[in-house]
């Protein structure tokens, strides 16, 4: 692996845009004196990151196997290019990367990175909904559409916030069972992915504003629709609590080593922590002490388990413009041919509608314990992950309208096949 990654790093250096730290790091890997340790984050202007020991790095990675290994080494992959990836990593894990054969081409304390990428919340991004505003919007939608909706809590977060879910079904309310085929849309499982909350909220608003139009009316008359926009409320709130973003991905569990946060999308009981996740509590890809150790994943598990009528699921994330489907946790396609046809066909259709690229999740990297793998494995649900568009977790308010527009169309497609997904495999 070392030789391969070294070749990757050399090719990176030939590319424009790579500066001297990359060269220094490569020299260090080849046996020259090590690059001096970067300055620690400065206190002051970036107090929201005080004590945050993560670095923004770029690391040579040629394929999904390299990327999977990097996730296991604690790298939180945020951006992906053919020859390298970029993302956040704890200083302790960064210090181990060279010994594991990885070549780091850029490295920057998160506070330095933040200086170039920071946007305030909510001043510049007031259109985004924080927790209270999300709850208020869900309550408004429920109050204005009492005949069609009910509001349920899927459970509570580590810090005691409710995971609210709007049920759209005129025939049954609250926890009442329904024989109708069900679809579940969830957002913001990762704290900093605020656009995913907006897409789920936008979908709820769209369906109710157009409840009298023939297509939506048909879904309201035949389906059981659930929308939970904020499924990691503590993480999303922490990300914005200081008024400046913190790039916070995980929930707010206080770990055994006093670090905080478990990656909810590595905490499901499907090949838990077997690939693409870290056992190190400080890592952004920390899978937790056990599968389903977290109340937020327990809540999703209990909801999915209690609703045998569930046929389809969409978990919104950001960013990369992708439509992902199982398997994520192993380097294999779904074994059952009919199921595979359904996944392929739905993925293609939603890819065409959104312009996002459909692929099996493990083609990006192998990462076990995500929502989709578990929901499909445990309950046969056709479960997808959408990585919304953009080039940042904080793409600005203008992107809400475009992302909601195309993803509502894809959601309508998902609803159109929820009654009979296997109709796609005939």
Residues that bind Zn ion (CB under 5 A): 190, 193, 317
Answer yes or no: 387 catalytic. yes
> Rg of the Cα trace of the chain?
21
Integer Cα distance of 285 and 263 in angstroms: 5
Residue among 193 and 237 whose Cβ is closer to ligand 0X9: 193
From the list Zn ion, ligand 0X9, none, pick the one residue 362 interacts with, judged by a Cβ distance below 5 to 8 Å according to partner type: ligand 0X9
Smallest gap from residue 80 Cβ to ligand 0X9 (A): 9
Residue whose tokens read 């495999």: 425
Stretch that binds ligand 0X9, among 1-9, 139-147, 298-306, 358-366 (CB under 6 A): 358-366
- Asked if residue 328 binds ligand 0X9 (CB under 6 A), the reply is yes
From the list ligand 0X9, Zn ion, none, pick the one residue 234 interacts with, judged by a Cβ distance below 5 to 8 Å according to partner type: none
- Asked if residue 384 binds ligand 0X9 (CB under 6 A), the reply is no
Stretch that binds ligand 0X9, among 30-38, 100-108, 286-294, 365-373 (CB under 6 A): 365-373
Q: How many residues bind ligand 0X9 (CB under 6 A)?
A: 16
Smallest gap from residue 154 Cβ to ligand 0X9 (A): 19
For residue 384, list its beta bridge partners.
314
Residue among 157 and 371 whose Cβ is closer to ligand 0X9: 371
Residue whose tokens read 């904080």: 394
Cα first-last separation, the chain: 44
- Asked if residue 317 binds ligand 0X9 (CB under 6 A), the reply is yes
Nearest residue to Zn ion by CB is 317
243 Ramachandran zone, left/alpha/beta (phi>0; psi -120 to 50)? left
Smallest gap from residue 276 Cβ to ligand 0X9 (A): 6
- Asked if residue 86 binds ligand 0X9 (CB under 6 A), the reply is no
From the list Zn ion, ligand 0X9, none, pick the one residue 385 interacts with, judged by a Cβ distance below 5 to 8 Å according to partner type: ligand 0X9
Smallest gap from residue 265 Cβ to Zn ion (A): 6
- Asked if residue 54 binds ligand 0X9 (CB under 6 A), the reply is no
Residue among 163 and 324 whose Cβ is closer to ligand 0X9: 324
Smallest gap from residue 213 Cβ to Zn ion (A): 32
Among 219, 365, 374, 384, which residue sits at the site for ligand 0X9 (rule: CB under 6 A)?
A: 365
Burial group, residue 64, by CB count within 10 angstroms (0-12, 13-18, 19+): middle
- Asked if residue 360 binds ligand 0X9 (CB under 6 A), the reply is no
- Asked if residue 129 binds ligand 0X9 (CB under 6 A), the reply is no
Smallest gap from residue 361 Cβ to ligand 0X9 (A): 4
Task: Report the interface residues with ligand 0X9, using CB under 6 A.
Answer: 190, 193, 265, 276, 317, 324, 328, 361-362, 364-367, 370, 385, 387
Catalytic residues: 387
């Amino acid at each position: 692996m070392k030789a391969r990654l070294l070749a990757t790093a050399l090719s990176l250096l030939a590319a424009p845009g790579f500066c001297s730290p990359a060269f220094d790091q490569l020299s260090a890997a080849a046996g020259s004196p090590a690059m001096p340790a970067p300055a620690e984050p400065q206190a002051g202007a970036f107090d929201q990151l005080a004590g945050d020991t993560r670095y923004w790095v770029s690391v040579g990675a040629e394929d999904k196997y390299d990327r999977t290994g990097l996730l296991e080494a604690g790298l939180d992959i945020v951006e992906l290019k053919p020859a390298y990836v970029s993302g956040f990593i704890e200083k302790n894990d960064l210090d181990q990367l060279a010994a594991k054969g990885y070549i780091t081409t850029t490295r920057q304390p998160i506070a330095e990175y933040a200086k170039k990428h920071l946007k305030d919340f909510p001043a510049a991004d007031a259109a985004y909904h924080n927790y209270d505003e999300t709850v208020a919007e869900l309550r408004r939608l429920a109050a204005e559409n009492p005949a069609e909706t009910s509001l349920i809590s899927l459970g509570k977060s580590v810090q005691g916030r409710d995971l609210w879910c709007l049920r759209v079904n005129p025939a049954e309310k609250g926890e009442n069972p329904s024989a109708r085929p069900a679809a579940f849309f969830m957002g913001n499982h990762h704290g900093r992915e605020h656009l995913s909350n907006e897409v789920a909220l936008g979908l709820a608003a769209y369906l109710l504003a157009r409840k009298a139009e023939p297509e939506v009316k048909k879904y309201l008359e035949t389906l059981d629709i659930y929308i939970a926009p904020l499924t990691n409320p503590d993480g999303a709130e922490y990300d914005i609590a200081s008024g400046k973003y913190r790039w916070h991905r995980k929930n707010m569990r206080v770990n055994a080593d006093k670090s905080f946060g478990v990656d909810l999308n590595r905490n499901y009981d499907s090949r838990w922590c077997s690939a693409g996740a870290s056992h190190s509590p400080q890592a952004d890809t920390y899978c937790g002490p056990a599968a389903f150790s977290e109340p937020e994943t327990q809540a999703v598990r209990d909801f999915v388990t209690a609703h045998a009528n569930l046929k389809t699921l969409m978990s919104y994330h950001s960013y990369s413009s992708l439509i992902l489907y199982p398997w994520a946790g192993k380097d294999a396609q779904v074994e059952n041919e009919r199921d595979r046809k359904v996944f392929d066909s739905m993925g293609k259709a939603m890819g065409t509608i959104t312009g996002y690229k459909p692929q099996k999740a493990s083609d990006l990297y192998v990462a076990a314990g995500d929502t989709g793998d578990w929901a499909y494995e445990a309950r046969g649900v056709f479960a997808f992950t959408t990585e919304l568009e953009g080039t940042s977790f904080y793409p600005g308010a203008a992107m809400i309208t475009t992302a909601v527009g195309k993803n509502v169309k894809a959601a309508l497609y998902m609803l159109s096949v929820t009654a009979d997904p296997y109709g796609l495999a005939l």
